[in-house]
Structure 1
């Protein structure tokens, strides 16, 4: 959400003089200044400022970025930072993010302008990653401190951090250590400098001693406030993800546009049906099209009533609800083959209100092009004139309608606007089917479908398919054709080892999405030792990234050895160990996830195009957005929107969406909210000199796993 602001000739000194204020003094109430709800990010192209920008982007918080390496960039002077509007002095930015405590040359006019701006309007400054030194309120690391790797170190939120911006955490801030061959962190640990007004918020033990050193802390000096961060990070690393919310809340003093929550939803596909099983000898799945026709014997995996009991008990213990995507024909076939008996369906229907339910089509048929499976890989069949032969509108519609009717007869609590097609079929699928089945959209309209599940590994964004909006889902690397850990590992080895190691070579052919294992995993220990922790880390990373997209597994993973639960427990138990009770996992159904994603996209487009204005004057926030654009904001508990409470409680604040009719929306902050215009009467001091260049190790990139889907 970047926006360039044109500079003006007005200086802070001239502004202060025009208001009759002494130099170095903030404008005092009752004539409170206007503070625009926008963040200034001064970037050096490093991962730390990029990470903070990504956090603001995801939350929907507007910011302006100035790239120090870009030729022709705006000059950061008084006119760039402040002016007057309607007779009020205006601060254009509510917070400043710098790559370190002073990225400019010694005696820089730009740093002096920033310091004067921060003093005048009490604007907080974040030093995204800086060297520990007295100019940042800390002792040099050589004075009883430490500089080096923190891989695997368990940092801690201090009492001041818990009482302040990081109160949503339980206390621990573990640093990642994902590979012994990669340095994943670098930090400076040291104590506050003698006489410095410095409060550590997050610290860690100094190696080789009994003392602790600051990693994140607040330095108050010269009438300014700085959040000093002395470890490097990128936007994907867990240590940053845990602290990102607190960094934003600190620099905005808890009042900003945008919102952030931690989401987790899990869809279980193919319920009532059976999933074909991976053959560890043939290295394919008999009954599916990845096996040559006629090879192997299908041995489907299907849940039992005991598996339902386990799922119900697990949900109760985790305070979590699974979404079951069902295929009614699976039960119909079971009853036909067993004199009307289907104990699994009987148990699931008896416990139907314990789950959420999604239409997954009646028979799980492929609803795209007609498949020619006489060759591997399969291809789209063609018509006599050479065109693509498509599954008909009637066939697609019947699959949707028949499953809905079956579910309604069974009393399943459905939302008929939701649909997930088998294998996400009907939607475009490269390379065989590069476009949607043209009959899909009309069939969705025939059945009132407005939310359609899609595969996030194929399409990461939402789009329209006739009347429906897609909801991208993350495939979990727990395979549909595995009910036992040994089967999962065998197939995992086939996918993720080279041909020389006995694998398929898929990882060699697709290095952009897969990384080959150095050696095959043990079928007895590889699942628990490698796959579970890796998948847990990936999925927990999504949860910590304000990402509401659902994940999906299959009913086979809840059957037999129930191999999904170690991953699900890893995510949820790991989360509970990190977060306070007022920051729970948000568990939404698919429709509500779709609404959240769509609102965000509309909001982002309005912000990026400059159609949103927002500012604070005293205890009143005013936001204006185009008609039809819902407004999102975060504020202290007790904030009012008109006569009603604003938002819902989360992480010690309130946040949410409020409708906009194109007219200004005002939010009344509770009395006692920290005032951005609070008077600052400390003596002005010259800006500090430039920070020494700090070491920035290579960051860790998130990889999207290859996951076969059925």
Structure 2
């Protein structure tokens, strides 16, 4: 990542002679970039002395007024220099995913004032501060880099943090020059676009990033990184060290009690290290309690269970040969064995369970030598089940009566086969059709459907915000849940078939040439598992689409979907210690509806400081507000070592609850 940093050289010029080439310290971040030099030259010696004296008196000797804190908003302040830093997008993405309230300040456009931080009477506006870069440098004019804060504004911020005991994090820190070195000495730098950098958690880092797997190093790649050393052995406290002893993350404590968490590598919303470290930074800045929550989700939905799908022919490079595949009873039983093994393999995966969208017509006797229906009937409780209509009929132009019949007949099959993990109010539309068909939606509503799907690859159907969906314009009681497509295609059942079709699209000479060679099966799994891994690391609630062909026990043991989940979990388990949840579509709908209500509620919290601290909550609309790090009420759970309490408030409701020490 390219981001330019600078020093503000503060040596007071005491003679009328232009000084030798003393750097103002603009550093361009590539090994090919040399030190860029700027100079201050203000004219006569007398003028220099006068200006220096004024500057020193105003900005260095005159501190901001101290303030006695009474309360603090449960909200974070994210400060950017010009709004263009990659880490600015990165931290906003993390906060949005968790649901933490925050404000942004683009300092080069909106000046920081005392009123930004508090009302001046003891009411603080922010419980934590996140700076995109350590010096908030931006290019004010061509080749003229300066801090977006004046020295007076830096002092104002520091005074607020000291008075209110508010923590600060600098998300991409060059530790030298103005305004601070954060207790670090710069040694060198690394361009990890070419050579990834690995760093391990220290003892302090393992405590702060307690959800990470300490046995595996954090890999830094795709980001310019400053390699630094702490100025002393005790302060700052390093959190993340390379094998050579360079610190990439550390906490510095100032004499006035302030603390700053400095990260010396760049980031963005898609970089793995940004995702791994982001939650820990937010949690630390917030002192371990905040509005919002995070959990890791994995819900795989292999459509078309009980019916056949076309199969890709690797020789003819087509799926229009008449060949089909429908999983067998043996495939079904092998899938159960695989799922049990996954759940037993690691505590992270103990709750993983596939959700099976089924078409009941397949159990009606239309397939000769049908072993699948008998296998399902004998073991119906191994998976969750979800209606996919009876005959897989497209719903784009279906009539009310026919739509109702498709839903009713499929529901009858669920009862006949003894599905216990099944909710009548949820369904997946064949080919995600019917979203704009009023007749289908009216039939779905009358049948009792409350949760259907959209496809995030189609225009207009991505999540409006993290972990949220859409209420149907035609039937507002129906929530439309976005679902991710996948490159594990509907028409492949073996590694040979999948690899052939994938390379047909993406290898050199393919329809959409992307890679410089034909991928092997292990390379294909690596790339596709990396995509799924991102969903897990982002605490993404969306389910992922697959098809029943992907469940074939191609070697009488393994399946394509199983291989992909195994590859994804291997990466995940090397990084995280958080248990994965596998909510049904019904439960996903409840979670998304709750998140949408939370986002729209106007809920806010204020930490009231006193002999015994408390949190004052209020809302405009009814809400079930999640509070991480708070143990209150009866609706609560422990996740990742933290208690998450869900507080229910009615319209214009208020509530005061105990708060942790501040």
Same fold by TM (over 0.5)?
yes
Of 326, 342, 350, the residue aligned with 1:302 is 326
CA contact (8 A) 1:132 1:189 kept: no
* Counterpart in the other structure of 1:314: 338
Of 264, 267, 271, the residue aligned with 1:230 is 264
Structure 1 residues 634 and 147: CA distance shift in structure 2, 3 A:
same
1:349 paired with 2:413, answer: no
* Counterpart in the other structure of 2:131: 98
Structure 1 residues 193 and 59: CA distance shift in structure 2, 3 A:
same
* Counterpart in the other structure of 1:553: 546
Structure 1 residues 263 and 115: CA distance shift in structure 2, 3 A:
same
For 1:531-562, what per-residue CA distance to the aligned partner results, in whole angstroms no more than 9, with x for missing partners? 21111111110111121111121111110421
TM-score, scaled to structure 2: 0.80
For 1:103-135, what per-residue CA distance to the aligned partner results, in whole angstroms no more than 9, with x for missing partners? 237861110100111111111011110113483
1:406 paired with 2:404, answer: no
* Counterpart in the other structure of 1:395: 402
Structure 1 residues 308 and 195: CA distance shift in structure 2, 3 A:
closer
Which aligned pairs between 1:51-130 and structure 2 lie closer than 5 A? 51-70=90-109, 73=110, 75-83=111-119, 89-103=122-136, 104=147, 108-130=151-173
Provide the aligned C-alpha RMSD in A: 2.3
Of 268, 272, 278, the residue aligned with 2:306 is 272
1:418 paired with 2:413, answer: no
Shift of residue 612 of structure 1?
2.9
Structure 1 residues 23 and 421: CA distance shift in structure 2, 3 A:
closer
Structure 1 residues 238 and 361: CA distance shift in structure 2, 3 A:
same
Aligned residues: 556
Alpha-carbon distance between aligned partners in 1 of 2:503 and 2:134, rounded to the nearest angstrom: 48
Which aligned pairs between 1:286-685 and structure 2 lie closer than 5 A? 286=320, 296=321, 298-319=322-343, 320-332=352-364, 335-338=365-368, 341-368=369-396, 390-413=397-420, 414-427=422-435, 436-458=436-458, 459-461=461-463, 462-465=469-472, 466=475, 467-497=477-507, 501=509, 503=510, 505=511, 507=512, 516-519=513-516, 521=518, 526-529=520-523, 531-561=524-554, 562-580=559-577, 583-606=578-601, 611-618=602-609, 619-636=613-630, 639-641=631-633, 644=634, 647-661=636-650, 662-669=652-659, 673-675=660-662
Alpha-carbon distance between aligned partners in 1 of 2:149 and 2:97, rounded to the nearest angstrom: 35
CA contact (8 A) 2:112 2:149 kept: no
Shift of residue 329 of structure 1?
0.9
Alpha-carbon distance between aligned partners in 2 of 1:268 and 1:651, rounded to the nearest angstrom: 29
Alpha-carbon distance between aligned partners in 1 of 2:573 and 2:658, rounded to the nearest angstrom: 33
TM-score, scaled to structure 1: 0.75
CA contact (8 A) 1:267 1:551 kept: yes
Alpha-carbon distance between aligned partners in 1 of 2:182 and 2:648, rounded to the nearest angstrom: 44
SS of the aligned residue for 1:216 comes to: strand
Which aligned pairs between 1:11-22 and structure 2 lie closer than 5 A? none
CA contact (8 A) 1:157 1:203 kept: yes
CA contact (8 A) 2:75 2:103 kept: yes
CA contact (8 A) 2:249 2:263 kept: yes
Alpha-carbon distance between aligned partners in 1 of 2:516 and 2:87, rounded to the nearest angstrom: 34
Alpha-carbon distance between aligned partners in 1 of 2:491 and 2:518, rounded to the nearest angstrom: 18
Q: Which has the higher contact order (CA 8 A, sep 6+)?
A: 1
Structure 1 residues 242 and 535: CA distance shift in structure 2, 3 A:
same
Shift of residue 593 of structure 1?
1.2
Of 229, 235, 240, the residue aligned with 1:197 is 235
Q: Which blocks of at least 5 consecutive residues in structure 1 are unaligned?
A: 1-21, 178-183, 207-211, 287-295, 369-389, 428-435, 508-515, 676-710
Alpha-carbon distance between aligned partners in 2 of 1:155 and 1:330, rounded to the nearest angstrom: 53
Shift of residue 474 of structure 1?
0.9
Alpha-carbon distance between aligned partners in 2 of 1:233 and 1:284, rounded to the nearest angstrom: 42
* Counterpart in the other structure of 1:174: 218
Structure 1 residues 419 and 656: CA distance shift in structure 2, 3 A:
farther
Alpha-carbon distance between aligned partners in 1 of 2:75 and 2:628, rounded to the nearest angstrom: 13
Shift of residue 39 of structure 1?
0.8
Alpha-carbon distance between aligned partners in 2 of 1:277 and 1:106, rounded to the nearest angstrom: 62
SS of the aligned residue for 2:236 comes to: strand
1:43 paired with 2:45, answer: no
CA contact (8 A) 1:175 1:239 kept: yes
Structure 1 residues 617 and 271: CA distance shift in structure 2, 3 A:
same
Alpha-carbon distance between aligned partners in 2 of 1:464 and 1:23, rounded to the nearest angstrom: 49
CA contact (8 A) 1:318 1:572 kept: no
Shift of residue 195 of structure 1?
7.0
Alpha-carbon distance between aligned partners in 2 of 1:366 and 1:449, rounded to the nearest angstrom: 17
Alpha-carbon distance between aligned partners in 1 of 2:80 and 2:600, rounded to the nearest angstrom: 23
Shift of residue 313 of structure 1?
1.9
Alpha-carbon distance between aligned partners in 2 of 1:280 and 1:23, rounded to the nearest angstrom: 72
Shift of residue 602 of structure 1?
2.6
Q: Which blocks of at least 5 consecutive residues in structure 2 are unaligned?
A: 1-62, 137-146, 344-351, 464-468
Alpha-carbon distance between aligned partners in 2 of 1:476 and 1:648, rounded to the nearest angstrom: 32
Shift of residue 176 of structure 1?
5.7
Shift of residue 354 of structure 1?
1.2
1:243 paired with 2:245, answer: no
CA contact (8 A) 2:133 2:170 kept: yes
SS of the aligned residue for 2:560 comes to: coil
CA contact (8 A) 2:185 2:228 kept: yes
Alpha-carbon distance between aligned partners in 1 of 2:199 and 2:600, rounded to the nearest angstrom: 38
Shift of residue 520 of structure 1?
5.5
Alpha-carbon distance between aligned partners in 1 of 2:309 and 2:605, rounded to the nearest angstrom: 52
SS of the aligned residue for 1:482 comes to: coil
For 1:437-475, what per-residue CA distance to the aligned partner results, in whole angstroms no more than 9, with x for missing partners? 231111102311000122121211322332311111111
